[in-house]
Amino acid sequence: MRVFLFLLVFFSFAATEKFYAQTAEIHFEKGKESYEREDYVNALIEYNKAIEINPNYSRAYCGIGIIKAKKEQYKEAIVDYNKAIELNSKYINAYFNRGIANKFLKNYKEAINDLNKAIQLNNDDLTNFPDMYYSERASAKAEFNDYGGAITDYNKAIGFSNKDADLYYSRAIVKYNASDATGSIADYDKAIELNPDFTNAYYNRGLIKYNNLDYKGAISDFSKASELRPDFSRPYSAKGDALSKLEKYDDAIVYYDIAIKQSPDRAEFYHNRGLSKLKLNKKEEACSDFQKGKKLGGKSSSEAVKAICN
């Protein structure tokens, strides 16, 4: 009889525990659905309900952390990721997301450590977006000025996803910072091949060509960037710079005019237009531009006013 009663109690307890676990899972799934609809208020409500039922539900803590990170509450998000990891020391997504939060907080060393752990755990499950893990660690390493390590990670990411234009674009930036302009251009070429409408890739490639004194090639890239995104002022100004180098000052002024119309608070645009006007012996107009640049805090314009306009 005692055995029977013990078994009855045991199975009753087990059934209750299973019921609570299933109920917590239901609230968690509802939270995920709300999150995917960008209904973060209800997502938080459901995740918290899951935790009320099951205080050891690590996935719910991670979900709450992700929502806080969406709101740029990175420090608060890390508290939730910490709890998720405390409950499940092999929780890949918690390490990954904590790494991202640390990166936004510029805690690059901590970010790299978290992403190292995520990659280590993820090695047993290569279906779990390995390219993203390596690319995020590469980004953190680049911010930490470890360009060699960043390039190695981007290489690995590209090995998993060699049709991702963003990966080539990101590696191009790091290569340029590592003084590999040729390699950088090659990666911008590949990014553009994969995404012919990649505005920033054209613009950045144009800047490298400009620095390499390939002004005509730079103008071509700046023109394409402006065609793709007419409201982007920098390619117009950069095109003006390249035209000025080719001594086409009237044409340069046309593009500086467009850039200034779009971004009237950029001191360097006025300064560079002033330099082109000065080349055309339009000193009064040039000094007017230098004065505007000075008012906007431009150091070069301030020096030009002192040297030329007084």
Residue 304 has pLDDT above 50, yes or no: yes
Average pLDDT over residues 303-310: 92
pLDDT of residue 2: 54
Question: How high is the pLDDT of residue 245?
Answer: 98
Evaluate if residue 18 carries a pLDDT over 80: no
Q: Would you say residue 125 has pLDDT above 70?
A: no
How confident is residue 21, by pLDDT bands cut at 50, 70 and 90? low
Q: pTM (2 decimals)? A: 0.87
Q: How large is the average pLDDT for residues 104-122?
A: 94
Q: Where are the domains of the chain?
A: 19-107, 270-310
The pLDDT of residue 133 is above 50: yes
* pLDDT tens-digit readout, 165-221: 999 999 999 999 999 999 999 999 999 999 999 999 999 999 999 999 999 999 999
**CATH level 3 topology of 19-107:** 1.25.40
Q: Is the pLDDT of residue 258 over 90?
A: yes
Spell out the SS3 assignment of the chain: CHHHHHHHHHHHHHHHHHHHHHHHHHHHHHHHHHHHCCCHHHHHHHHHHHHHHCCCCHHHHHHHHHHHHHCCCHHHHHHHHHHHHHHCCCCHHHHHHHHHHHHHCCCHHHHHHHHHHHHHHHCCCCCCCHHHHHHHHHHHHHHCCCHHHHHHHHHHHHHHCCCCHHHHHHHHHHHHHCCCHHHHHHHHHHHHHHCCCCHHHHHHHHHHHHHCCCHHHHHHHHHHHHHHCCCCHHHHHHHHHHHHHCCCHHHHHHHHHHHHHHCCCCHHHHHHHHHHHHHCCCHHHHHHHHHHHHHCCCHHHHHHHHHHHC
What is the rounded average pLDDT of the residues 122-135? 76
pLDDT at residue 14 tops 50: no
pLDDT value at 7 more than 70: no
Determine the pLDDT at residue 70: 95
